[in-house]
Every structure is written in structure tokens, then in C-alpha cells.
Amino acid sequence: MVYISTMTKSQDKDIRIELVSQEEVSVCGGVVLFKQLMERFKIRELLRTLPFPASKHKNSYDSQTVIETFLVNVWLGGDRFVHCEAIRRDRVLRQTFGWRRVPSASTISRFFNRFTYSINHKVFPALFKHVFGYIDIEDGVIVDIDSHVITRYGMIEGAEVGYNPKKPGRRSHHAIVAFIDKYYLCVNGWLRRGDTTASSNVENFIGEVLDILGDEEVSLVRADSGFCNQRSLEALEKHDLKYVVRARMTKGVKRVLLNMLQWREVADGIEVGEGELKLWNWRKGRRVVAIRFRKGVYRDARGKRLLIEGEDLSPQWTYQAFVTNTDLDPYEVWELYRGRANVENRIKELVYDFGIDQFNVRNFWGTEAAFRLCLFAYNIVSLLRLVGLRTQKAVSFKNLRSKIVFLSSRLVTHSGNTILKIGVSVGVMKFLRMLLENIHNLSPPVKIFAM
């Protein structure tokens, strides 16, 4: 027992402070929501069966405990393996998840170093496919594909000098990710060498995305200009997918836009047109849709100028172009593509709230495994937002974490039953009760609605 005398502005008062074992209390009681959700979706059962890398040591940790420890670390905001050490000291978390013991940061790091291409190819498609097999999306899904450069420091396997707009000349990894529009769900994600292009191996990536989605109908695929090439477009057409892809403003595209004779005004300062585009390395021509904005009239005018050899051939306008195989009106194509802008916010959330760019080990496939597990942790949070909150308003995990994760809690035993007591205010108590009831009443397949 420790006694400390403190002074307050209103009165002089002795406050008696009692130091107790830190194993008796926890500040992370809200993590039980994710545990409940994983059990309703039978994810914990799946983790026991997947072929994660095994250790030959007789006292090694089971793979499920290591994976769940890593996921909890990400949900708590940890972006280093060493941050898992805080979980080791939390007896409440350990008993909540039923872990016999919690691995150290070095143990988790060694575990990821044992991943291989074969293990990644077997584990993560099955993990993502399992989740999508338990949900029922009301309408056909729109899949957004994007690439993301992750700058690396030090000698990390697969980190090479390539396209890096923020830090040119630095080594990096080049990730490719696919999201479902309006549902805040990640379908798939790969990590690639830093010297690859945005569309490298996109054919196999699209095939894996479709395999994960299973029977879900893909109504449209959207991608940025990094995927506007023969390889990507043929991969989409091979699977009979409708697409809208931002065109890269090369000389060939600019000349096509310059030669468009029929432009239709759709709003003050906005005109649309369409034509056929066949670049020199394309096997066939494809429909191109263009939109242009008059400078000084449309306040949010964005796009590229038609600069050819330093001369602006259309000084009053800025242009955007899209390659598509849909039959939609040009203005509708532009409006449809604008919805893809939310992808950038999803990637920012993954970087700042889930640490996709922070976990790395010596082995490239281990680094990719950590990257893909961060994406899976993001999906669990998205499921909580979709089936737990059931709100049409998008709520960032940063706000959710402070509201429902960092809650004081302790375990007590009463009449032979173990009870997790969580200290919350009256307002938060109603909110948490609603979440727990919604999760408890889930009956797969769960119908989800767009946010």
C-alpha cells in the first residue's frame, strides 16, 4: 500500500493510492467485441485448420495464438512487433481469448520469417474467402483496384528502387489492393517488389479476387491510369468484366481528344465526348470517354492540359479520359468513376490505423504475410461497422478505437462463472449493449448494406 498526498485547487485532500497487480485489470476490454465477432463467423475455428508455418520446437506456440496476438496488436494501434509485449502483461486479454501463454515480439517475428510463397498462397485466399462466404451483399459489387508504394528503410528482401512519388530513389515495396466500393471491405492484397509496375501480375491478381468473391456478382471494376494498358484490359475482358479505367494522358490519347469533333455540354463549363482509342501496342481499339472543364468557369476543374511538345493545343480546357467497355452515357461514366476516390481514404486508414507499412521481417514472404494480416484485421473492423453498428455513416476506426476498444475491465469469478466487467458510462453502455446484441444475433449468411 502506497500513500501519496496531493493538493487540489478546491481543497486540500489526502488521496490514498493502492498499487495492485497489473494482471488484475485491463484497459483493452473492448477487444472482446472482435473476439465475439470472430467466433460468430467461425474464424477462430478456421485459424486452427489453416497450414500456417510450424515450428519443430516442442515448446513452440500454436499458430492460432500467434496470429490472434498479432491481430489484437493491430486493433490496439500497435505498428511494431515489439508492441505485442503489452499484450503479454495483460492477464484479462489472455483469459478472454483463452490463450495459455502469449508469445513475445521476437517469437512473433521468427514465426513470420517462416512464411513462404506456398503458405501465403494457401492461407490468405482461404482466409478472405471464408469471410465473404459468410456475408450476403445485396447488389452486385463494384471492385476498385489500386496500387500503393510502401517506402522501406534498410536492407529488406524485395525492397528495390522503383516508382516512389513521395521519396524518389528510396527502396520500396509496391502493393496492389482490391476493395469493394461502399462496404469498406478489402477483397485481396499482394505485396510486390519495389521495381514492379502498378499492373505487374495483374492477371493472376484479378483471378484470385474473383475466386475469393465466389458467387458474388462483380458489376464493375474501376482502376486508375496505372492499369490502362493492354495486359490489364485483356485480363478484365478475359473474365467478361465491365470496367472503367482512367486513361494515361500520353501523346496518343491527347491527339484522340484533340480530334474529337462532337462535344456535348452537360453543365456550365463541362462538356463530354467519346470516341475510339487504339494505342500502338494495343491489339484492338476500345471506347474512350472524355470530359473537359472550361478554365475559370467550373470551380473544381481538374484534369490535364493538352500539352504536346510544350505547346498547349487547347488552352481554355483541362481534360480527363477513361477507357471503358460499358454502354453508359459519357457523363454517367465520369460520375461512376468519381466514386472510386474513396479508395485513397481506405488506403490512408490502412496506413495510419492498421500499420500496413510498418511490419517487416527479413523474409519477403513474411513481410507480405504481415501486410495481408493487417488487411484481414481491417476487414474484421469493417464487419463490426457493417453488422454491429448497422449505420449508413462511415465511422473511422480511430474514433471507434477510443470509444469501444480502450475500456477499463477486469475478470471476476461468480458462482463458478468467469465474468468480464467493463467500466463504461451510461451512454456508452447502451452503445456496447447494442453492439453485443447485434453480434450475438448474427445468423450467417449475414446480409450487409452499403455505408
pLDDT tens, residue by residue, 118-149: 999 999 999 999 999 888 887 789 999 999 99
What is the rounded CA–CA span in Å between residue 395 and residue 397? Answer: 6
Beta bridge partners of 294: 317
Pair 311, 387 in one domain: no
Which of 297, 324, 351 marks a domain boundary?
Answer: 324
Question: What's the chain's average pLDDT?
Answer: 87
What is the rounded CA–CA span in Å between residue 34 and residue 75? Answer: 9
Range of the domain at 94: 23-110+376-443
At 85, phi and psi to the nearest 5? -60, -30
Pair 27, 106 in one domain: yes
In a domain, 34, yes or no: yes
What is the rounded CA–CA span in Å between residue 49 and residue 168? Answer: 43
What is the rounded CA–CA span in Å between residue 18 and residue 198? Answer: 57
Pair 313, 247 in one domain: yes
Overall domain count for the chain: 2
Q: Which amino acid is at 229?
A: N
In a domain, 402, yes or no: yes
* Percentage, residues of the chain above pLDDT 70: 92
Cβ–Cβ under 8 Å, residues 115 and 147: no
Quick one: average pLDDT of 399-420?
A: 84
pLDDT attached to residue 65: 94
What is the rounded CA–CA span in Å between residue 195 and residue 127? Answer: 28
Quick one: average pLDDT of 220-249?
A: 94
Pair 33, 106 in one domain: yes
In a domain, 3, yes or no: no
What is the rounded CA–CA span in Å between residue 442 and residue 210? Answer: 26
Q: What is the pLDDT of residues 276-285, one digit of tens each?
A: 999 888 999 9
Q: Tell the burial category of 57 from Cβ atoms under 10 Å away from its Cβ (0-12, 13-18, 19+).
A: exposed
Beta bridge partners of 139: none
In a domain, 146, yes or no: no
Residue 189: which pLDDT band, with cuts at 50, 70 and 90? very high
Quick one: average pLDDT of 399-412?
A: 86
Please say whether the dihedral angle defined by the alpha carbons of residues 163, 168, 173 and 178, taken in this order, is positive or negative. negative
Return the axis-axis angle of helices 63-75 and 32-40, rounded to nearest 10°: 130
> Is 397 a residue whose pLDDT tops 80?
yes
> Is 11 a residue whose pLDDT tops 60?
no
Kindly report which listed range (35-39, 242-246, 279-283, 446-450) carries the lowest average pLDDT score.
Answer: 446-450
Pair 384, 316 in one domain: no
Cβ–Cβ under 8 Å, residues 400 and 386: no
Which of 262, 292, 324 marks a domain boundary?
Answer: 324
Q: Which amino acid is at 189?
A: G
Please say whether the dihedral angle defined by the alpha carbons of residues 17, 19, 25 and 26, taken in this order, is positive or negative. positive
| Higher pLDDT pick, 144 / 3 | 144
| Higher pLDDT pick, 22 / 34 | 34
In a domain, 344, yes or no: no
CA-nearest of 105, 14, 37 to 382 is: 37
Quick one: average pLDDT of 145-173?
A: 92
The set of cell numbers assigned to 301 is: 476543374
In a domain, 336, yes or no: no
Q: What is the pLDDT of residues 355-382, one digit of tens each?
A: 999 999 999 999 999 999 999 999 999 9
CA-nearest of 308, 219, 199 to 256 is: 308
Q: What is the pLDDT of residues 284-336, one digit of tens each?
A: 999 999 999 888 776 666 778 887 766 676 788 889 999 999 999 999 999 99
Pair 318, 251 in one domain: yes
Which residues are within 8 A (CB) of 151 and not within 5 positions of it... i.e. 6 or more apart?
A: 164, 166, 167, 170, 171, 172, 357
pLDDT attached to residue 4: 43
Q: What is the pLDDT of residues 79-100, one digit of tens each?
A: 999 999 999 888 889 988 999 9
Angle at 397 between CA 391 and CA 400, to 5 degrees: 70
> Is 7 a residue whose pLDDT tops 50?
no
Residue 431: which pLDDT band, with cuts at 50, 70 and 90? confident
pTM (predicted TM-score): 0.90
In a domain, 201, yes or no: no
The set of cell numbers assigned to 116 is: 513462404
